[in-house]
Amino acid sequence: MIQTILERAVAAGRPAAERGAAASYIPELGKVDKRLLGACVFTRDGGRFSAGDTGVRFSIQSISKVISLAAALELCGFDTVFSQVGMEPSGEAFNSLVELEPTGSRPSNPMINSGAIAVDGYLEPKLSFAEMLSFTRKLCMDDGIVLDEAVYHSEMSHISRNRAIAYLLENQGVLQGDVERTLDFYVRMCSLSVTAESLAGLGLLLAEGGVSPATGERLLSPDTVRVVKTIMLTCGMYDGSGAFAVRVGLPSKSGVGGGILSVADRQHMGIGIFGPALDAKGNSIAGEA
């Protein structure tokens, strides 16, 4: 039944890709075939269902913000993380600088670029990228995740806006670590190469309250999972989060690489989608469909 539904969903979503475009502001992402589309569902009882282009590796981009937030909550604690980052939907584009301009302002939430850079500012002095990569592989149950060097260098060559955000954060006293090292850490996390299956694995771990379905090991505390899923529901789909929450109702996070991560708690399912054609807000248009 799940397999049939998934295949029908992917077939129904494919035509929507023609209305979107791959992210071109990072040149390497703009090279991806926008017609690709795949979706996976992983279930508690070991079910693995997939349809479409689920084995294709792509750039995780902003879905890495879920992983960084979880790591920061575990390592630094709730009070530290949210001392400089808010918990409210921004209503602005994911790469907006507007909210940072007033004196004393801070990022609205950890799912937009400014908030994620601030969160990575907590992590960078405490964890190496290699340690974060290992942590990501465990959360996603995918040892094949690596840094996509081509995407990393492409993004680092077009980083002016995020660099401006980072220095504004430093000016506001939000980012207290080294700006350039934090930016490099942030871009490396965004440049991880995943599949729809990787995202379904992460979604299932979150649906299981932070316990790895593969090993039975607790990787995240219940409190961390609760906070992460709540922020995903309210802020995870950029400035389209409210409409998505009403229409779909699942904690989700998108990335401009074309991924969507969703958590179906009651069904104990993780959902991973890949569709690089984006709408105007930066969300996978065929994936949403």
85, 227, 256, 263: the active-site residue: 256
65, 138, 253, 281: the active-site residue: 65
238: annotated active-site residue: yes
186: annotated active-site residue: yes
Residues near 178 by beta carbon (within 8 Å), at least 6 away in sequence:
124
The 3-state secondary structure of the chain reads CHHHHHHHHHHHHHHHHHHCECCCCCHHHHCCCCCCCEEEEEECCCCEEEEECCCCCEECHHHHHHHHHHHHHHHHCHHHHCCCCCCCCCCCCCCCCHHHCCCCCCCCCCCCHHHHHHHHHHHCCCCCHHHHHHHHHHHHCCCCCEECHHHHHHHHCCCHHHHHHHHHHHHCCCCCCCHHHHHHHHHHHHCEEECHHHHHHHHHHHHCCCECCCCCCECCCHHHHHHHHHHHHHHCCHHHHHHHHHHCCCCEEECCCCEEEEEECCCCEEEEEECCCECCCCCEHHHHC
32, 59, 96, 186: the active-site residue: 186
What are the φ and ψ backbone dihedral angles of 189, each rounded to 5 degrees? -65, -40
CA 117 centroid distance within chain: 13
238, 241, 253, 254: the active-site residue: 238
10, 34, 41, 62: the active-site residue: 62
Residues annotated as catalytic are: 62, 65, 186, 238, 256
